[in-house]
Amino acid sequence: MNDSALLQDAARRVFLDFYESDRLQSARQQGWSAELWSALEETGMSLISVPEAAGGSGGSVVEAAEVLRLAGKYCASVPLAETALLAGWALAGVGIDVPRGPLAFRIIESPDPLQLRRRDNAWRLSGTVENVPWARHASAVVLIASFGAESKVVCAPKSAYRVLPHANLAGEARDCVVFDEATIEDTQIAGATASITADKALQRGALARAVQMDGALERVLELTAAYAKQRVQFGRPIIKFQAVQQELARLAGEAAIAKASAMAAAAAVMSDDRSALAVAYAKVKVGEAAQSGAGIGHQLHGAIGVTDEYLLHHSTLRLWAWRSEYGSEAYWADRLGGHAMSRGGAAMWEEITGSAADAR
């Protein structure tokens, strides 16, 4: 086995330990799985792709994506994407120490809900930010936000804010965070750079959700194929019916194109080559695949799939929730279409094939 296969194998073992009904239910009530997070910290996977010099575990964006797709596949309720691919990346990139523990991350673009002021030789942060993934469980909330004309990365420690708990469809913490004249030390704030920007952060977030959805779709396919093979109606396993086979094949098609799109985007983000385009393709296509894939999965499972004790809904609820996070399909398709129309057909073909001199 090569390094990447070993890593995936190790990750799969960790995630599988927590992939059972009781633990998933409990994570849904808590808004996360604290024990799974501890297991990831012990193996060093919680800071994958964050440079070792910044206290991370090293590794590439593609390796992080491979671990994240397994996290998605096994319904891991942990801030892995936010801690490693987003907060860890942003803090290391602007030279702020990466704090220990799980990190929340939020991109804030205008209209700006936050005010940052200088008072008594310190920064003071005020305002309310909604929909902050994992905030109630995080040791710090990391923001990339525009304050007037300036874009800054801020690392706000737990003591700087209070949290009103909210959750997405799957019960994952998506909290409201309130800053009330919170003091931010000078060492915890830095200007964004050419490579650490709000848009790059959005691309990474969208990539994370795309690979997580790709993993979740793979699980929906496995569960559905296995169920269709085992479930007997009219005297035979339902997988023997052509009508069922046709739908199963469509589900396999959605899972396959999701994987291709998501992993191609991971490569583009890693090499920083046409990454906005690749992420837009992936978030739109994987989101669409999530919708039709989850639908087919439920249809072929019949009523068992919508019951609490069966595992399918943990995957499908996540698919429905993740579609909207870090830019919905509507956001990315609009942006992608707008870009194409500003370029024109011939130039767009050059970009698709990677042969446009100015697209690099």
Applying CB under 8 A, which residues contact another protein?
A: 62, 218, 221-222, 225-226, 229, 239, 242, 244-246, 248-250, 252-253, 255-261, 263-264, 266-267, 270-271, 278, 280-282, 284-285, 288, 329-330, 332-338, 340-346, 348-349, 352-355
Q: Which of 169, 352 has the CB closer to another protein?
A: 352
Count of residues in the chain: 360
Confirm if 264 and 213 have CB atoms less than 8 A apart.
no
What is the closest distance, in whole angstroms, from the C-beta atom of residue 125 to another protein in the complex? 35
Do strands 174-184 and 114-119 pair parallel, antiparallel, or not at all (unpaired)?
Answer: unpaired
Smallest distance, another protein to C-beta of residue 142, A: 27
Contact 172, 32 (CB under 8 A): yes
Three-class SS of residue 176?
strand
Which C-beta is closer to another protein: that of 147 or that of 227? 227
Nearest residue to 255 (alpha-carbon basis) of 300, 288, 284, 206: 288
CB of 259 to another protein, least distance (A): 6
As measured in angstroms, the least distance from the Cβ of 68 to another protein is 13
Q: Please, what is the minimum distance in Å from the beta carbon of residue 231 to another protein? A: 13
Q: Which structure tokens are listed for 112? A: 């700006």
107 close to 69: Cβ distance less than 8 angstroms: no
Integer Cα distance of 215 and 269 in angstroms: 18
Nearer to another protein, 92 or 255 (CB): 255
Is the C-alpha dihedral spanning 78, 188, 44, 85 positive or negative? positive
> Which CB, 76 or 284, lies closer to another protein?
284
Residue 254 to residue 336: CA distance in whole angstroms: 21
Q: Which is nearer to another protein, 41 or 350 (CB)?
A: 350
* Closest distance of CB 242 from another protein, Å: 7
C-beta closer to another protein: residue 24 or 251: 251
Contact 28/77 with Cβ under 8 angstroms?
yes
